[in-house]
Amino acid sequence: MNLADLNKDTLLSVGIDIGTTTTHLVVTSLKFSNVARPTQINALQVTDKEVLFESTVYRTPLTEAGLIDAKAVAMLIEQAYAEAEAKTGRNMKAVQTGAVIITGESARTRNAAQVLEEIAELAGEFVVESAGPNLESILCARGSGAQALSKAESMRVLNIDIGGGTSNFAVIDNGAITSTAVNFLAGRAIIFDQGKIAAISRAAQDLCREKNINLTISMCESECQAQLSLLAAEMAEAICTSADNYSDNNLDLIVISGGVAEIMATLSLYKDFPSAPEKNVEHIVGDNPYNDFGIYLARALTTRLERSDKPYSLAANAIRATVLGAGMHTLQLSGSTIEFAQESLPLRNLPLLKIDAKDSTKLVANIKQALAHKELDWSKTPLTLALTGLDAAGLQYQNMKSLAQELARAHCDLKGCEPLVVTTAEDIGMALGSLLKRLIPDKRIITVDGIAIEDGDYLDIGRPLHSNSSSDQYTAALPVVVKTLIFYKN
């Protein structure tokens, strides 16, 4: 690595994906710079992303009880970090951002919190920990390249990331992720052990019951090929039906990523060589390394998609979609004219309250209502007020001033914790911040703009970034991550 890479205009980022079946990580470098024209106020944006290191895809270590083995995972990651240091020459202690994502069904296991705790210290300062599959859906859609494609081609794209435990759906309209969903039809529906069925997931059991497919524990894999294929076909059908439902049957393209897509890609590669021993699973993709249903599902899904008239494609680097998304696409940069109490950063897991600020006389009532709705006590929990509904009139001086007054009043009346954190989409962070500072000078205030919050539950805010190419010292951008909870759709 040359010296230029060590300047302050890059962020070292890590993405760690602890899935139902596999665990792996990537190390990436995010370059950010000032994209504003001279004489205009600075605007920092991530302008370049580079993958520095991709780890081996490890099997996720599990305990006897079927939980993620937190200690073993931490050791794996430590080992991968050492490898990354050796390969890239970077000090992994300098990792500034990224995400640890516990994905799929394993997110539902009881020790997710413990796993994150084991890794948190190791991972880096502003590395987001998440066990929420909604964020996973978003990250997959970004990591698979589906979002970039949708934006470049002005298309409506559905990304389906089919992993071991879950299938994550994200609808992307012209580059904007408009909805996400998840279900439990995935590669680990059935686990084989020494040629016999060792486990059947609940989702697969339900499907078997519904479709009268006779599959039970300890049946021989070789003897129930017909049932397995039937289940795979039904599962592929169900995934495609879900795809239609989630996207209102209005799509330009389906992009498939995840471990199952990786197998589909391998299968299609062999299809081009007629001499290859076709249909013999064992020969095509090695000897089913994960000993699960992924291979069956991959074949059925290929058949099902070939049959439909919908265009689809497999993501390049399919199995790494989540981890690439986690490493490269977690953070947004705020606008650069903002107000922040540096000593309060970074902030993590701030509950997010969307507040209609169109009429500032109703602001206090709106905040009270939102607090009651989320059952939060502002005096105990620091939180973020995401102001919405500001129009051109709202940006006028008099209205901004009353908005600041009402915010200050709400913060005092409700005995809100410090720092007072406010976000807006409109470019008014510094104005609102300085008005607030005049009103409540001894309180810590953070006003962040340029952050569009569609649907979020928690917010993380990192330390400020300055750019070499910025022409001043009074502008800085804050890295912000909006995390969302899952919403299930059946």
Partner 1 sequence: MSDEKTKAVKRLKALTPARIGVGRAGTRPATAALLSFWADHAEARDAVKGDLSADFVEKFCHCYQAVAVHSTVQNRDEFILFPPRGKRLCTEDEKMLISRFGSDVYDVAIIISDGLSARAVEENLPDLYPMLLDGFSPANISVSPLVIVHHGRVAIGDQIAHLAGAKVAINLIGERPGLSCATGLSAYITYNPNPQTTISSDRTVVSNIHAGGTPAVEAGAFIVKVVERILAVKVSGVKLQAIS
Binding stretches for partner 1 (CB under 8 A): 39-41, 154, 174, 337, 392, 395-397, 400, 426-431, 433-435, 437-438, 441, 449, 470-474
Give least dist CB 154 to partner 1, A. 5
**In the bound complex, what is the minimum distance in angstroms from residue 391's beta carbon to partner 1?**
11
**Which stretches of 340-464 are assigned E, i.e. beta strand?**
347-356, 384-388, 420-423, 445-448, 458-461
In the bound state with partner 1, the residue whose beta carbon lies nearer, of 322 and 470, is 470
Q: Strand 347-356 relative to strand 458-461: parallel, antiparallel, unpaired?
A: antiparallel
For partner 1, give the closer residue by CB, 72 or 155: 155
Strands in 231-331 per DSSP E: 253-257, 285-287, 312-314
Give the Cα separation of 121 and 39 in Å (integer).
42
Least CB distance to partner 1 at residue 422 (A): 14
CA 408 to chain CA centroid, Å, is 34
Nearest to 426 by CA among 455, 477, 390: 390
Smallest gap from Cβ 177 to partner 1, in A, equals: 16
Residue with tokens 């309180």: 443
d(CA 413, CA 401): 18
DSSP H or E stretch at residue 161: strand 156-162
Which CB atom, from 218 or from 249, has the smaller least distance to partner 1? 249
* Minimum distance, C-beta of residue 336 to partner 1, in the bound complex (Å): 10
Return the structure tokens found at 411.
């913060």
Nearer to partner 1, 31 or 151 (CB): 151
Separation between Cα atoms, residue 488 and residue 390, nearest integer Å: 31
- For residue 179, the minimal CB distance to partner 1 (Å) is 19
For partner 1, the closer CB: 86 or 393? 393
- Residue 145 and residue 123 in contact, taking contact as beta carbons nearer than 8 Å: no
Structural contact between residues 184 and 166, judged by C-beta atoms closer than 8 angstroms: yes
User: Whole-number minimum distance, CB 264 to partner 1, in Å?
Assistant: 28
CB-nearer residue toward partner 1: 364 or 400: 400
Residue that the structure tokens 């300047």 belong to: 7
Cα 326 to Cα 310: distance, rounded to the nearest angstrom: 29
Give whichever of 433 and 479 is closer to partner 1, judged by the CB atom. Answer: 433
Q: What CA–CA distances, in Å, run from 369 to 25, 250, 353, 455?
A: 42, 37, 10, 18
- Strand 156-162 relative to strand 196-200, pairing: unpaired
Question: Nearest approach, Cβ of 38 to partner 1 (angstroms)?
Answer: 8
At 111 the three-state DSSP class reads coil
User: How would you classify the pairing of strands 445-448 and 420-423?
Assistant: parallel
Closest to partner 1 by CB, 86 or 392: 392
Provide the minimum distance between the beta carbon of 44 and partner 1 in the complex, in angstroms, as a whole number.
15
Name which of 120 and 425 has its Cβ closer to partner 1: 425
Whole-angstrom Cα distance, residue 298 to residue 447? 48
Nearer Cβ to partner 1 (273/397): 397
Instruction: Report the nearest approach of partner 1 to the CB of residue 481 (Å).
Output: 24
Strand, helix or coil for residue 380: coil
- Rounded Cα–Cα distance for residues 384 and 370 (Å): 11
